[in-house]
Structure 1
Amino acid sequence: MKTSELQIEDYNPYYQTYINALGEVSLREELANGLLKFEEFVSYIPHEKLNYAYAEGKWTLAEALLHIIDTERVFQYRALCFSRNDKASFPGFDQDDYVVAANASKRTKESLLEEFVAVRTSSIALFNSFSEADLHKRGVASESPMSVGAVGFILSGHLNHHKRIIEERYL
């Protein structure tokens, strides 16, 4: 599936920024490329930057990394449920509540990187298991329709979005 195959009804307009940032890409290739690029990117982050926040009230770098991991897990579960024709309406999640509960200050860069690699590898395996028909299945999350394919593109765009923020504001 390519980004150009998405329909406007495949996702909430809130996610348009993430989709637009990708350009014309193949879903499975972008998920795999994101893993390699982000793994390399995080490996170069100085350890002393993990607990740095660029402004009062902003997340630390470690919290931002955990946010990426948590979001991947939540959206991965949505994709699985939608692909299996689950008719439940999935609630949104409050990213700030998740960050507060995550205890990011107690994590090492290595543990965060290991967890990201595990979660993204799992996402890649999941999306590789989907047929083209599965990618077009839809469910409801955060009171909006969303397709399985859109979930994968949102994950990719979300990762790129936060990588850019980390580059600009944390490093």
Structure 2
Amino acid sequence: MTATIRPAEKSDVPGLAALIEEIERFYGTPEAGIQPLDERLAQVEEALFGSPPLAAALVVEDEAGVIAGLAAYSFLWPSAGSSHSLFLKELYVRESLRRQGIGVRLMEEVRAIGRARAGCTRVEWTTDRFNADARSFYRSLGFEEYDGKVFYRDDTGSF
């Protein structure tokens, strides 16, 4: 199956909102925790196309023109010294397109974006410990797991 990788456009918001629901289900979010579609649409549009945008994304479009994957990222500062890094927040390819080299292509594109940005010195990302497929995928690309950081999250809504 042929797939196209390109920067997200405003017309992709409905497809991205649908894909984000799929991602939530993949990670085991219970039905009650799935965000209503109208909220998801508004948040995707604001995140990617607000002023200023909070993030950027590459989309994977399948042969039928359906959004079937994404790489969502932001630039973070500071990184090493006063440089900045590209933080890959989400890399996801729909099951029907996996193991066809699309994830590899997405990683190559993300790394190229980082290299092209003046002052960007690294690309960083995380994956869940339970996601053996993702960990294996990253190892197959030659990346080793980094034990130097501990990840924290405050999702209590009290901040």
Same fold (TM over 0.5): no
Structure with greater strand percent: 2
Structure with greater helix percent: 1
